[in-house]
A = this chain, B = another copy of it.
Amino acid sequence: MKINKNLAALPAGYLFAEVAKRVKTFSAENPDARILRLGIGDVTRPLAPAVVAALKKAADEMGTPEGFHGYSPDFGYDWLIDAIIAGDYAPRGVEIARDEVFVSDGAKSDVGNLQELFGPDAQIAVTDPVYPVYVDSNAMAGRLGDYVNGKWTNLTYLPCNAENGFVPPLPEKRVDVVYLCYPNNPTGTVLTKEQLQVFVDWALENDALIVYDAAYKAFISDDAIPRSIYEVPGAKKCAIECCSFSKTAGFTGTRCAYTVVPGEVTYDGVRLNRLWGRRQATKFNGVSYLTQRAAQAVYSPEGQKQILETIAYYRENARVILAGLKKAGILAFGGVHSPYVWMKTPEGMPSWDFFDLLLKKAQVVGTPGEGFGPAGEGYFRLTAFNTLENTRAAVERIVSVL
């Protein structure tokens, strides 16, 4: 049987496995250590009461002949799509049609699967550091060449660091698709409307596509920062946007997301909206009725109030981390419109060395920046998803070893 050699040759998922391994070794050698984890990108606060109520109501319905629901519509129930449009787009002045929204089980699935719309020789660009799924999903499809010294030979890296204010440069060579994620994972930074406009203009001029990952948009605390790339003129002709309830409403263990593919996004006379619809209808069977009712409840007045309280909780954690690091004289970024704080390691220490130092001296776990790409070296990611109490304690410990 002929196997997919690109998939077989893909380097093993290294970052979080290596983190877990080092933590496990340390724990075994120091059984009494109370380790504080600011490494995880997973939420920890309970689902909103409005969401729990919707789930239970839907479960009861599913147990009756009248209320039972079989297969969901491939792209989502209209009542959820309407709630998404009314809740996330209309208030920002963005017009989105029902058939431009595709409800799914996760933004990770969508950003991983979207590359199926691209030809085998499409040229890809990512910001660096980067969420690994953009890279790995294209590598599996054979678009990225070989992995040599931590870089893919046929991938365009757009480095983002303190020197350029975490604003990615435009690609210098021909690129068909650029992946942008704002608020950014892992750096926690955002782009202004003007900075995004540069990319939209570039895409329109170059017949290129932007895949825009807005999974963290609920953390944006300044109305001037775009929550959707469609707030930028021209973006509806050149951008696909992936959104998720995971960070917005604590749905990492509940699984609901949506992707917007505007009808106007067209290449070679082919509408990507049609292609994505065909892809989803063929290989995906819709999101469960319960989960869609839960997502709908997020947009109810109580749901909105409740999820904003949870986001405020995480925001306070991020503020505590940022304030503590700054007081200690450490350069740190993100953390304002994002649950992620991206700190410079002290004196340019390699990020894995800093990981080991923090683990051993402070019993705090974070994520080494190098794990997110070559330009992440010398940086370290801390997350705001632990409890406030643990976050405060962790920051004290971190500062004590700097």
Contacts and interface: CB of A to CB of B under 8 A. Distances in A.
A47 interface: yes
Interface stretch (A53-61, A94-102, A315-323, A360-368): A53-61
A255 B285 contact: yes
Contacts of A197: none
A266 to B, nearest CB: 10
A105 interface: yes
Interface in A60-112: 60, 62-65, 67-72, 105-106, 108-109, 112
Given A3-B267, A69-B253, A284 B62 contact: no
A225 interface: no
B3 A281 contact: no
A401 interface: no
Contacts of A137: 282-283
Within the oligomer, what is the number of copies of this chain? 2
Nearest to A121: B2
Interface stretch (A287-295, A328-336, A372-380, A388-396): A287-295
A63 B303 CA distance: 13
A45 B66 CA distance: 9
Interface residues of A, number: 81
A1 B70 contact: no
A10 interface: yes
A302 interface: no
A302 to B, nearest CB: 13
Contacts of A270: 3, 8
Contact of A118 (B3, B65, B72): B3
B55 A59 contact: yes
A43 B68 CA distance: 10
Interface string A100-139: 0000011011001100111111110000000011001100
Interface of A: 1-5, 7-8, 10, 12-13, 42-47, 49, 51-52, 55-56, 59-60, 62-65, 67-72, 105-106, 108-109, 112-113, 116-123, 132-133, 136-137, 140, 142, 176-177, 207-209, 250, 252-255, 267-268, 270, 272, 275, 278-279, 281-291
